[in-house]
Structure 1
Amino acid sequence: MKQLRPVMFVGTASDVGKSVITAGFCRIFKQDGYTPSPFKAQNMSLNSYATPDGYEIGRAQAVQAEAAGIPCHTDMNPVLLKPVTDQEAQLVLHGKPAGNHTAREYFMEDDKRALFEEVKGAFNRLLQQYNPVVMEGAGSISELNLRHRDITNMRMALHAGAAVYLITDIDRGGIFGSVYGTLALLPPEEKALVKGIIINKFRGDIRLFEDGRQLLENITGVPVTGVLPYFHDIAIEEEDAVVLAQKHKAWSPTRINIAVVLLPHLSNFTDFHLLEKDQRVNLFYTDQPAAIASADIIILPGSKNTIADLMAIRHSGIAGAITEAHTRNKIVIGICGGYQMMGLSVADPHGMEGGVARIAGLGLLPVTTVLGKEKVTQQRSFRYRHQDKPCEGYEIHMGISVSDTPSPLNTLSNGDMEGYLLNSRCWGTYLHGILDNDVVINDLLQQCGKATVPEAFNYRDFKELQYNKLAKHIREHLDISAVYKALEL
């Protein structure tokens, strides 16, 4: 295959669809015989994933690598920021924690020159192995106050010599102003890299926008590569937690109602992606005690700040609703930080999460947790509740949970025991992705006492189908031949 120059998808704002479109092009290039790799220099997200060699990257880049058909690697996301508080984030560099930084410390220190060298090195390594490198920007490319500290958007595009495509979200409105303003604020050498505009999330008859498309090309001087209709039938994991606000579903009288507690620092909400697609289930995110109390199953999800979130759910009345539901024999489970909260106590002797050294847990499981300085990042194979079918998941946590009365939930492939099983209706685990396994989901739903027929479901095949549907959707509505022409060296 001939060598292609890198391609980069940037945005007029956050949440315009950059991650999904990048994943779609990773699959398109794979289908066309190329060997693509995703790359995002810096990602800010509480959704992360463990690489095969035991490091941590943003979940979006792991999804994009899956779409490309290759194992994920830290070079695909060399800098990951995981917010701990409103003012502070953990810096993960090349997959390993590199300390907590305030926003001012991170953005002002040395204008990020050292970090820029690190991300350029990661990109250069990918460039030697893959063709093409499919790059994703972050947020908006026209933040003038951040331009000289930029390690993710146009400064990175210039280093790569990438063909850049600007994505805008027509569903939120104002695309003429946002596209024109974004391009007008770019210096000439950066604007010269922009080869096309992609209008995303269009609702209605696209033919009615033909004059709008022409107007946009006239005022910007940049061709519109295509208009992507809003889709509802393609299931690709979302990157940003902003989508959770749209997932407050009403209680269902015909399905099993599952409440995921909407924590202030909720992480890895992709743990519930498969459950959301299960026709037996009505899954919703909520921070309302009454909604939690009415659910058949309550899930305490992962958290980037277990202690702060534990304090928050106590203050809001959620903790009381969970413990009261437990006494009524409702199913309550916890994953990672949620597992820690379900225990007797959480201690933070090193101040990893702030100034609270120790806090009592919900007392549902007889485990105590001590947060440590070392982060566990590991893909895992395991057997759930001694069942024969092998399962897969991954660990990302800073803490160890122990009990005087061990009762493991899972047996890892190396023979180690993991999690705590109080009974079939109450357990906790550190394993993200545990609910991607049908043996776990079917057991969990059957414990409700409601008649459920186990689904024969292969999640890997399902995801492959979604990537192919996404690629088909993009091919039908974008000028792919023009993209390939722009990538010719």
Structure 2
Amino acid sequence: MTDSSTILHPIMLVGTGSDVGKSVLATALCRIFLQEGYRPAPFKAQNMALNSYATPDGLEIGRAQAVQAEACGVPCSTDMNPLLLKPNSEHTTQVVLNGRPIGNRSAYDYFRKEGRAELRTAVNAAFDRLSQLYNPIVMEGAGSVSEINLRDSDLVNMPMARHADADVILVADIDRGGVFASCYGSIMLQTPDDRKRIKGIIINKFRGDIRLFEEGRQMLEKICGVPVLGVVPVFNNIVIEEEDSVELERKAHSIAADKVNVAVVLLRHISNFTDFNTLERDERVNLFYTSNTADIEKADIIILPGTKATLDDLYELRRNGAAQAITRAHRNGTTIIGICGGYQMLGQTVKDPHAVEGSIPQLPGLGLLDTTTTMLPEKTTRQADFIFNGTPCKGYEIHQGTTTYSEGHPKAGQEADTIVCAKRCTGTYMHGFLDNPAVIEHFIAPLAKNRAAATHHTSIEEFKNRQYDLLADHVRKHVDIDKLIKIMHT
């Protein structure tokens, strides 16, 4: 155990590129510092992700920083991720500042130098507030640290490290190849002052016998002039939430005869796919992501997930035949569940009179629920409790639009209930809906008869804490934590 009364420098993990494992390693360090007796907190000045989370005070941050806050054992706040970018399309993104949307921007408008001072002031102020409450701050960069064409407009990498006076650790993905060139280039492309701030390297995603890389490690230290603090092997037995959806298509989508087959429709703008992690771990369930109409129709349960662009994805579902496959499957007895944007799609109509999402003013929904959704500029973000089959449950809402009952419904014109049910069809705005054992049992148990034994439901909190501890153990074995903390002392 280290002397946790000592104030440590902030530590920042930057990458040789995107998807090198910065977020997972930051999560590991958050848990390790907690175990060492410190009071750590995560910080990422700017995050680009469709996976987001509602803070206790009803504001929005990137899901990755909420996960890291869990690993730290502290409530999440917008100061941990003051700037969140949520792409609407390939060219535009919704900008969320301090938990609230401030408008949509094109990539060109966002990344040009003009107007950056206000955002820089905001993210620096968020860090300053956070650093008054926690020690140490575990910071995370974004993408590659060596994008020199963006240096003047950068808010999240080395300029943030300079403001925080952080010790910087470069993370490289050896599984991609080119680790020597990427590490050397990433360091040498920095300004002389920023180069001095980089205090170490962590090689991530190693496969095979680490002893075979010992000579390579020494060579890397020699050419880069900084120590290699660790070589972390790939792991497959620890479950940490993924930050983006790049891996979803790789998840198997073959039908399993002895399990309940759950198809999550793979939308182009899918968001908060972490809603299905608990269900995926259920031993009775075979969960897969697909947009293939044949696979959709073979499932026992079809889930329409959240989306950042309900109308655009609804249009695509109609164009590619998936909408028709879902309604056919429903007629043939399949259970349909819609969450957030997926819930909006299940109704009679989705309207966008204020062009909140784009140029599509209105589309017919799938018609499985007696509801109508109208998009509104204001966003709802809140954590919430709800009752399901008499059992208290928890979830959170992040959505734009309000949903009311349609004409012909006994409550026509009234705002729809938290959970709306029709025959074999359920819709809700509640993210985390399927993290609740009572909800899972309602949908899975009737279909699991004579297939697989019922599973014991570990609470989501207990499961996550076990994974954070396993991750910390894994990183401790392969990273010199004592040396890292010594760097942060000086």
Residue type at the aligned position of 1:188: P
Deviates more, 1:65-74 or 1:445-454: 445-454
Partner of 2:397: 395
Deviates more, 1:427-436 or 1:207-216: 207-216
Partner of 1:448: 447
Residue type at the aligned position of 2:60: E
- 1:372-400 alpha-carbon deviations (Å, 9 max, x no partner): 0110000011111x32x211100000111
Give the SS at the match of 2:350: strand
Q: Does the 8 Å CA contact 1:406/1:420 hold for their aligned counterparts?
A: no
Sequence identity, in percent?
Answer: 54
How far apart are the structure 2 equivalents of 1:304 and 1:127?
A: 32
Q: Does the 8 Å CA contact 1:111/1:148 hold for their aligned counterparts?
A: no
Q: Does the 8 Å CA contact 1:5/1:161 hold for their aligned counterparts?
A: yes
Partner of 1:413: none
Q: Does the 8 Å CA contact 2:379/2:398 hold for their aligned counterparts?
A: yes
Partner of 2:421: 421
Which residue, out of 335, 340, 345, partners 2:339?
335
Give the SS at the match of 2:357: coil
Residue pairs, 1:248-263, within 5 angstroms: 248-263=252-267
Residue type at the aligned position of 1:433: G
Residue 469 in 1 paired to residue 470 in 2? yes
How far apart are the structure 2 equivalents of 1:219 and 1:431?
A: 51
- 1:458-480 alpha-carbon deviations (Å, 9 max, x no partner): 11111110001111111110000
Deviates more, 1:114-123 or 1:170-179: 170-179
- 1:344-377 alpha-carbon deviations (Å, 9 max, x no partner): 0000010011111111001111100000011000
Cα offset, 1:291, TM superposition? 0.9
Partner of 1:205: 209
Unaligned runs of 5+ in 1: 409-415
Cα offset, 1:455, TM superposition? 2.3
- 1:158-203 alpha-carbon deviations (Å, 9 max, x no partner): 1111111111111122211111111111111111111111111111
Cα offset, 1:220, TM superposition? 1.0
Deviates more, 1:60-69 or 1:251-260: 251-260
Residue 151 in 1 paired to residue 155 in 2? yes
How far apart are the structure 2 equivalents of 1:161 and 1:189?
A: 12
Partner of 1:33: 37
Counting matched residue pairs gives 480
Give the SS at the match of 2:473: helix
Partner of 2:282: 278
Residue 460 in 1 paired to residue 461 in 2? yes
Partner of 1:411: none
How far apart are the structure 2 equivalents of 1:174 and 1:407?
A: 62
Partner of 1:412: none
Unaligned runs of 5+ in 2: none
How far apart are the structure 1 equivalents of 2:434 and 2:448?
A: 19
Partner of 2:138: 134
Q: Does the 8 Å CA contact 1:111/1:149 hold for their aligned counterparts?
A: no
Cα offset, 1:482, TM superposition? 0.8
Give the SS at the match of 1:420: strand
Give the SS at the match of 2:144: coil
How far apart are the structure 1 equivalents of 2:380 and 2:224?
A: 48
Give the SS at the match of 1:402: strand
Q: Does the 8 Å CA contact 1:331/1:448 hold for their aligned counterparts?
A: no
Q: Cα RMSD over matched residues?
A: 1.5
- 1:120-179 alpha-carbon deviations (Å, 9 max, x no partner): 000000111100111000000011111100000011001111111111111122211111
Q: TM-score of the superposition, structure 2-length normalised?
A: 0.96
How far apart are the structure 2 equivalents of 1:126 and 1:105?
A: 29
Cα offset, 1:109, TM superposition? 5.1
Residue type at the aligned position of 2:430: L
Segments of 4+ moved more than 3 angstroms: 449-452
Residue pairs, 1:60-459, within 5 angstroms: 60-108=64-112, 110=114, 112-384=116-388, 386-387=389-390, 389-404=391-406, 405=409, 417-423=417-423, 425-448=424-447, 450-451=449-450, 452-459=453-460
Cα offset, 1:454, TM superposition? 4.5
Q: Does the 8 Å CA contact 2:283/2:455 hold for their aligned counterparts?
A: no
Partner of 2:488: 487
How far apart are the structure 2 equivalents of 1:240 and 1:453?
A: 31
